[in-house]
Structure formats: C-alpha cells, structure tokens
Structure 1
Amino acid sequence: MVYQYTKMPRSLDDEENTMTERPGTAAPPADNFLAYLRAFGPGIVVALSWVGTGDLIDNSVAGGNYGYALLWVLPLSLVFRFVFVNALGKYPLYNVQQDPSIVRGIARTHPAFGWLMLVSFVLYTHILLAFTLSGVGVALEGLFGGLPTFWWAVIGALSVFAVTLKGAYRLIERIFKVILALMVLTFVVGIALVGINWGELAKGFAFELPPQQGLFDSGLVASSLVLATLGSMANLFYPEFLREKGWTTPAHRRVQQYDLLFGTVVVLFLGVAVWAIGAEVLFGKQGVSEAGDIASALGTAVGPVGPYIFYLGLLGAAWTTVAGSLFALAKMVVEALHVVRPARAERFAGTRAADPAYRWVIVWGLLAVVWSLPHAPGFVALVVVSHVLTSPFLLLIVFALIVMLNREDIMGRYTNSWKENAGLGLVAVFVAVAAVQGIGKAVGELFS
C-alpha cells in the first residue's frame, strides 16, 4: 500500500500555522535503527511529562521503606501504561474520519464528552500545576538558595510561559531532549557515587512482597503504584504530541510504537535510578518523606554534591512536567472548545495556538503558582477535586476508547483485535479500581 504525504513545512512550527482540519504529515523515517532514533520525540516529551516531583519523592521513599523488594512494580505498571497509551496513539493514525486529535474521536462517541472534556481539562490544568510548580520552586531553592520557594516558583513559571506561549512543539521537543540527557547523566553520577548492590537490585524484579511489612501493607503499596500510573490523565497527552509531530497516518505506526517504547524505557530508567538511590541511602531511616530530607540524606551519604544531584533531578522532572503538561492541556482545551463551538474552529482554521483561548489556558495554569505562597491554604481541597475529577473521567475515557476503536464508521478496517480489546479490558478494570480508590481517598481527606 502506498501512502501520500503532504510536503513537509520548513519547520514543525510552520506546520502549526498552516494546517487546516488535519496537519501536514511527516514522512516516516527509513526502516533502520538510527533513522528511528533520530525521529523519536513524542515519547520523550510524554515520558518527561509523566515523571514529576511526586514520582521522584515517592520512588525515593518507597526505596527507603522497602529497599528493592517492590521494585518489580515499576515495570509492571509501565507495561499496563504502554498498552493503554499505545491504544490511545492508534486513533490519530488510523481513524477514517480524518480526526487529527483523539479529543474529537472521544467526542464522536457521545456529544456530552465535548463539554465534559472542556470542563475537566480546564480544571485539571490548574490543579496539576498547583502541585508541580511548587516542585520547581523547591528544586531551584535547593540549588541556588537566596530566595523563598515561592519566588523561585514564579521564576520557573515565567520560564515555562516563555517556552509554551507560542505553542511551538519543535522547541518543546528540543528542550526536553537536552533535559533528558542531563537527567540521565545526573542519575548515572548519583548511582556511581552511592554505589548500587546490583544483586539486590536484580532480586527486586522477582515479584516478591517484603515479609517484614506484612502482606497487606506491601500489597497495598504495590497496587497503589500501579493504579497511580494508569489513573493519570497525563496518559491522554501522547496523541496530542503525535499530532504536533505530524505522525498522523498508518505508515507512522511502527515509529510511533518504537517511540512510545523508548519513552517507556526512559520512565523505567529514571524510576529505577531514583528507587535504587533511595534504597541505598534511605533504607532503614525513619521520618524521611520530603525533598529536603532526601537531599540531606544523600548529602550525608556522598558528600556536598549529594543534594545538588537530587535537586537537579527534581528540577528536570518538575519543570518538564509543568511545561509538557501545560502545552498538551492547553491544546486539548482549545480542541474541546472547537468541538463544542464549531464556528470557533472555522474562525481559526484549525490553528489552535492562534486561538486566544490557548494563551488564556497557559496563564490560567501558571497562576497556580499562588499555591506556593507560604501561607496559602493547604492542598486538601485540590487533592479532593483531583481525585473526584480525574478518576471517574478516565474510566469513562477508557470505555469510550474501547467503543471508539471497535466502530467501523470511525476506524474502518483498523478496528481492534480481540487481543487489543482484552488488553484494554484489563486496563479498564485497573482504572475502575483506581476510580473507587481515588474517590474513597478524597472523601476520607475531606472529612478528616
């Protein structure tokens, strides 16, 4: 089968300004390893959007609490995430409706989804950045000092504003590739200085539960880590990055899958590296739960360079989560707005970054920096809204995705196979459990 491609624009930024209903598609790379490696991008961007402040701290503390015993949870959760996100990535490549965005595909299953996505994405943008911007402030204060956390968070917000305002994916991808290289180097140095017990690390993948903690406690931690991975709205970002890259035809499926696999390996490496450092430095210590505690413990273990290693990794994780998430969510908000207001889509001819709503979402998200103020209200209300909003919404998304990928009027001859449906069905079960667990936690926090 021969596929036709539109002429490549001079840059992907030009493409954003020239696309109509469907962006110009980039020809897939030649069928060799180096060509694929050079083409990778969306997987890297989404990987660093996934790995945030909470992941670094949680994995460090998990390593400190359980050593390497629960390390197997990381690859298990990422296998499920790959199945889910790979299914999401299938839609913009294969749908016969010529939809460049999965937001439009989800809206095809029921008109109410357009409004549901619009409201959910707007609220989630502010909620997510309330947590992640504070992480940027903590990391910058730990590295440079001199200013309170809030003002460092403001500086971080301004840098994200400058990068995301024009909606240029090419710039985002280039910056993220540089940050990824620096993060890998940082954690490799950290592992070398700390010293890893490779035998114990290997045993960590043996699917064992630590007996000293009891079956219930360790099992609960393992299930929570898996559910947190699958229950993240950030999984919806990947199809948006595919659209921005110009990968929108069946011929891009192979490079898309390799790209996502590479991004998944990136997440696994960063997670294992942080977990291993926590297991070596924090194991057996009590009362370690915050960034400052972890940095201090690492400094005691390897000397003055220790805190800088941790805060550099934290900065890379927090900043890329803010920038990548805000970029994707702003585009998704505009897409949902264009779905429910078709006249607005015609007015801006599909150029989402040209819609003033894009810039307003960027500002709305970055205004969450106020939650980093010293005397700002606690995060309980935000946590409650986040759990109540995202868990049930993602469950609906999974069911809509299953329906969408099995409708011939949407996917043509590329409807799901039984194996793909079985994988998504398993994901749906996990997400359903995550939804119940998330709402339960929210209610508990509300009345605690």
Structure 2
Amino acid sequence: MVESKPISTTSDDAPAAPPPTSFLGYLMSFGPGIVIALSWVGTGDLVDNSVAGGNYGYALLWVLPLSLVFRFLFVNSLAKYPLYNVQRDSSIVRGFARTHPVFGWLMLISFVLYTHLLLAFSLSGVGVALHGLFGGLPTFWWSVIGAVSVFAVTFRGAYRVLEGTFKVVLAVMVAAFVVGVVMVGVNWPELVRGFAFELPPQSGLFDSSLVASSLVLATLGSMANLFYPQFLREKGWVTPAYRRVQQYDLLFGSVVVLFLGVCVWALGAEVLSTGEGVDEASDIAGALGTAIGPIGSHLFYLGLLGAAWTTVAGSLFALSKMSVEALHTVRPGRRERVGDDPRRDVFYKVVVVWGLAAIVWSSPAAPGFVVLVVISHVLTSPFLLIIVVGLIAMLNKRRIMGDNVNTWKENLALVVVALLVSAAAVQGFAEVLGF
C-alpha cells in the first residue's frame, strides 16, 4: 500500500510554492541556501580567514575550497531526510532519535550547550562591528543592542521575515567586500599558488596548524550543518519533488560562502601581511583603513556586522526550534500537549533567552574576540562527530529511508568528513592545551 504524500507547507502555515520549472523560477525560489550560507559565514569564517590571510598570505587558501566540497556533500546528505524518509517526518532531529533513543538526549544537550557557545563569540562580533561603525558606547553595550535586535526578529520564529532580512544583508555584504577587494587589488599568481598543500611556519599569535584546524571546523560548520534541514522544513520543501531545487539552492549557498571567504582572505593577504601578525579584529580594520583610507575600516566593520548578526539570528532561530524538537523526542507527552509547532512550546523562548544570555562573554573581563572565535570552533568538534556518526547510521536504515538509503559513495564521503573532523579536533585540542 502506497502512503499518501503530505501537503507541503511552510512554518507559517502557508502552502509551499510548487517546485520551479525554469531558470528564473529556480533563482526566485532560492532561500534556505542563502539563510544557511549567512549562518555559516559568521565571525568565525571572517576572522579565521583574515587571520590566515594576514599571518600566512595565501598559503593556507587550499583549506577553504577543500572543506567546502565536503561540507556540500555532508549537508546534501542531511537534506535527504526531510525529503525522502518513509516516516513522512520533516524533522531530522526525530530521525536521529529513531536511529537510537540516546541520540534524542545527545542532541538536546548538544543544542542547548552549542546555542550558548556559538553566540558567545558571535554576539561579541556584533558589538565589535557596531562600535567600529558608530563609536560612542562601549563595545559591550553595542553587543546588548545587537542582542535586542536579534531577539525582536527570532522571538516569534517567523521564517519568512528571517529569509527576507538575510537576502538584504547578503547584498550589502557582497557589495562591501567587492568594493574592498577592488580597492586593495589581488596578487593573482600568489592566490593560485595558495592552493598548494603547505603549512608555513608560525606567524603571529596562532600556529599555522591550529589556524588550519580551526578553518576546517569553521568551514564544515560544526553543529550549524544541521540548520539546513530545519530551513528546508520552514520553507516547505519536504517531499522528493523538491530534491533538485534543494541541491541547486545548497550549491548557490556554498558558492556564496566560497566567494565571501575568498574576498575576506584576499583582503587579509594583501593588507595584513606585515610580519606583525593579527591579534584583534581592530588590526584588520586598522590595516584596511591605512591601505585604502577610512572607507576601508567601515567596509570591514560593515561586513563583520552582517556576518555576526546573521550568524546570531539564523543560529538562534534554528537551534531554538531544534532544541524543542529534541525535547519532544525524549518527552513525547509534551509534544501531544503543545502540538507540532515548536513556537508553541515555552521552551523555544527559554532557549532564545539562554542563547542571548551569552552576552556576558562580551563584557570587558571576557577573553578577546579573536581568541573566542578560534578556540570555540575547536571545542565544538565533538558535537559534529556525534552528528556524523548518527547520520551515517540513520541514512543506512531502510525502516527510516526505505529505498533511498545511502549509496557507498555517499557513505564514503561521510566517512572522510568524520576523519577530517577527527584529525582537526585532535590537532586543535593539542594546540589549545599547549597554548
């Protein structure tokens, strides 16, 4: 007996648009890929890429495209669950719980912890950017203002507002970084040589192997990879009919990440390779200001603001809803009382507040911004390993995926991702412990 397919709807209870059939239709329908791209291109990517470019020129550039290839394969595998699972379940969190009940608890704990950890340095980035643009108030109070603006957008959990806002921010970020790169110029032969696999000697605060490890973890996205299936659910893309547009959507988002990453890297390589290294975000802005005038500092801070704010808003939006989903998998009775919409559970609002409480890490007594970025990416690696192991198990169970279980090629890609993250985590922890 063939099961009937559910009607695809968005989180706002409006019918999802049918799959596009033309090139323009594909472009107009893109959304989850843009939201996930700007959730990925946060302060971590911007500062890590600037640190790598400033301290090592183009020598570590090979890490960026290599990691993005595996990220695409990884996240594309994650997207299979809401589209193909035989349970007709759009929540990948429930899929993990079906693989083994212990995953429900692991996901709940991981989501709650990661929400606070991610926002700890992302909110700091918002404050640094606003202070650099407008001055006046101390950085901490600018972070508070940024947190309030994120609260206003995410508290009600409306995806359409989030997607529309992110499209505007993307346009601003692209314009800012393109103008910066054009004004600075690019050494194209050196950029091409940057795709050679080399680890140069240490320059500045961080060893090159630690920077490379942090770049791998930042680019693979850690727990942020799980956001994409959530955004597909919010968009209403929850049947196999949306597979092709989903893949193009994710490819577009990956290209956005690569483009912005290379732009930031080029800015760092061209204006920060002075031999003095990069220790603070202000070093980047100051060098750009010296190289191309006051507009350079403003371009950097504008890009930083877009990266930091979208990371906070997108991550908080997704993690709060996924935390509720995880709670419902370990406490099914709660879901029966409040319904399927995570926004109706008070725990959604609790997680939003818990995440924004990370504003305390923006206080003057907290560690520096760049230190928080690099070390936080290393410390989140165990969360990503949990996801990879669970995903491999889930996508190979016929009772969950039916005839759409993973092929050997898809499994091989996930195994390589797991090995990369494991190697980066071991190296990163070793460097941090000796830091």
TM-score by length of 2: 0.92
Task: Please list, as runs of the form range in 1=range in 2, the aligned pairs for 1:1-400 lying within 5 A after superposition.
Answer: 6=7, 12=10, 14-15=12-13, 26-30=17-21, 32-205=22-195, 207-209=196-198, 221-230=211-220, 232-376=222-366, 390-400=380-390
Amino acid across the alignment from 1:29: P
Deviates more, 1:174-183 or 1:288-297: 288-297
In 2, the alpha carbon distance for the partners of 1:354 and 1:209 equals: 51
CA gap of 1:307–1:79, structure 2 versus 1, over 3 A, is same
Flag structure 1 segments of 5+ consecutive residues without an equivalent.
17-23
Amino acid across the alignment from 2:257: V
Instruction: Tell me the alpha carbon deviations over residues 12-66 of structure 1, each in whole angstroms, 9 at most, x when there is no partner.
Output: 45318xxxxxxx6542112x22111111111111111111112212211211222
Instruction: Tell me the alpha carbon deviations over residues 260-303 of structure 1, each in whole angstroms, 9 at most, x when there is no partner.
Output: 11001001001000000111111133042211111111001001
CA gap of 1:208–1:336, structure 2 versus 1, over 3 A, is closer
Q: What is the CA distance between 1:155 and its match in structure 2?
A: 0.4
Q: What is the CA distance between 1:418 and its match in structure 2?
A: 1.1
In 1, the alpha carbon distance for the partners of 2:428 and 2:212 equals: 15
Would you say the 8 A contact 2:177–2:303 is kept in 1? yes
User: How many residues are paired up?
Assistant: 430
Amino acid across the alignment from 1:27: P
Is the aligned partner of 1:407 residue 2:401? no
Instruction: Tell me the alpha carbon deviations over residues 354-395 of structure 1, each in whole angstroms, 9 at most, x when there is no partner.
Output: 11111111111111112212234789999988755x323322
Amino acid across the alignment from 2:176: T
In 1, the alpha carbon distance for the partners of 2:58 and 2:373 equals: 32
In 1, the alpha carbon distance for the partners of 2:41 and 2:355 equals: 18
Deviates more, 1:273-282 or 1:66-75: 66-75
Flag structure 2 segments of 5+ consecutive residues without an equivalent.
none
Would you say the 8 A contact 1:395–1:431 is kept in 2? yes
Amino acid across the alignment from 2:164: R
Aligned-residue RMSD, C-alpha? 2.6
TM-score by length of 1: 0.89
Would you say the 8 A contact 2:213–2:424 is kept in 1? no
Amino acid across the alignment from 1:104: R
CA gap of 1:118–1:218, structure 2 versus 1, over 3 A, is closer
Deviates more, 1:324-333 or 1:392-401: 392-401
CA gap of 1:247–1:124, structure 2 versus 1, over 3 A, is same
Match of 1:21 in 2: none
Instruction: Tell me the alpha carbon deviations over residues 390-446 of structure 1, each in whole angstroms, 9 at most, x when there is no partner.
Output: 32332222111111111111000101111111111111211222343455456x17x
Q: Identity of counterpart residues, as a percentage?
A: 70
Instruction: Tell me the alpha carbon deviations over residues 306-360 of structure 1, each in whole angstroms, 9 at most, x when there is no partner.
Output: 1101000000000000000000100010000111111111112201111111111
